[in-house]
Structure 1
């Protein structure tokens, strides 16, 4: 695994009231930024809320079915 190169610049205004930090990442930033955009779209706003609700409902049903099947085989009459 290769270390990522990045440059961080810090500048302060003369009166000291504003600080600025800028980060420029090295190679591979296009992949990271596109992944961040997709992740941000899927995890925020109305789409993000609906994705979280749907994944919660799907997880509930998966656990419910797994528990039902497990309980069936554990308590099966011989």
Structure 2
């Protein structure tokens, strides 16, 4: 059974996207950028680097906080 409306597209997971962007020329700059930065190897690398940066920020904040809380007077 074929869809009647050409703007309705079915993905391989059986989800329906109505009015989805079908070509890269129609995609906005932000959609292209987020597609590039959130998918593939680059997206995985950026998520890993973001996770490591977040870990170190929390670690350093905890260390400094613990230092001042437990500092001998």
| TM-score, length of structure 1 as denominator length | 0.64
Instruction: Name the structure with the higher strand share.
Output: 1
Could you tell me which runs of 5 or more consecutive residues in structure 1 were left unpaired when the two chains were aligned: 1-16, 25-29
Could you tell me which runs of 5 or more consecutive residues in structure 2 were left unpaired when the two chains were aligned: 8-18, 21-25
Instruction: Name the structure with the higher helix share.
Output: 1
Q: Which has the larger radius of gyration?
A: 1
The number of residues matched between the two structures is 56
What do you get for the CA RMSD once the two structures are aligned?
1.9
| TM-score, length of structure 2 as denominator length | 0.68
Structure with bigger RCO (C-alpha 8 Å, 6+ apart): 1
